[in-house]
Structure 1
Amino acid sequence: VITLTGIFFSPPNNTLEVLMACFVMLLQVILTSYVSGTLFHMLLFRDNTLDLHKEKMRRVKKFCNQRELPTIIHEELRAHFEFQFRKQSAEARTGILNKPTHRPTRSA
């Protein structure tokens, strides 16, 4: 058994065991770099959809207050935009793999 620090419980005795040890170490490096790269990407490149949604909800509230709309209509507007946001978020999570690989062209 090999760990990232290179501690062997039993050292490799033949060529096959040495190759297997090298393969396992290479696999560990690849998996560690993939996981850390994914985490750094998530930290550095935030998704702005939540911020845009919060800004939209602030604008809806401001709109309702300026127009002095009844509370029922205000709640319905908020519920509508919340539903649309949740629906688009769910579609984005499930539809990533189903997107076409090319952009459709439009004719005049």
Structure 2
Amino acid sequence: MTTPDTRRAPRRQVTELVPVTDLMAETVIGRLGNVSETGMLMLASVPMHDDALHQLQFTITGPQGQPLLIDVGVHLLWSEQTHAPGQAWVGFRFLTLARESREQLRQWIAEETSAV
């Protein structure tokens, strides 16, 4: 049985500032870089550890302009320091994502890919 290449999933580049909150620490830990329905890239502003599990939350804009909260359980797969002190790019794979949130995310990603 082959597993789908989750890194090939359609992604939305996030140009606006979308803060990402760690729900356990109740603090903003970075901002969204890009997102697919299987994972996300984040610019972290706090130290992060490879292979760690996190419960994160971020907000996307719904079809009528309303804010939609997305809660995800994630696994940190990799990190790479940036040239700015205290910042790193980090890649997450989604472990948990509610069905409704997945559909909202899928629609939000499709909006950008259809506008290109």
Structure-2-length-normalised TM-score: 0.24
TM-score by length of 1: 0.25
More relative contact order in 1 or in 2 (CA 8 Å, sep 6+)?
A: 2
Structure with more helix by fraction: 1
Q: Which structure shows the higher strand fraction?
A: 2
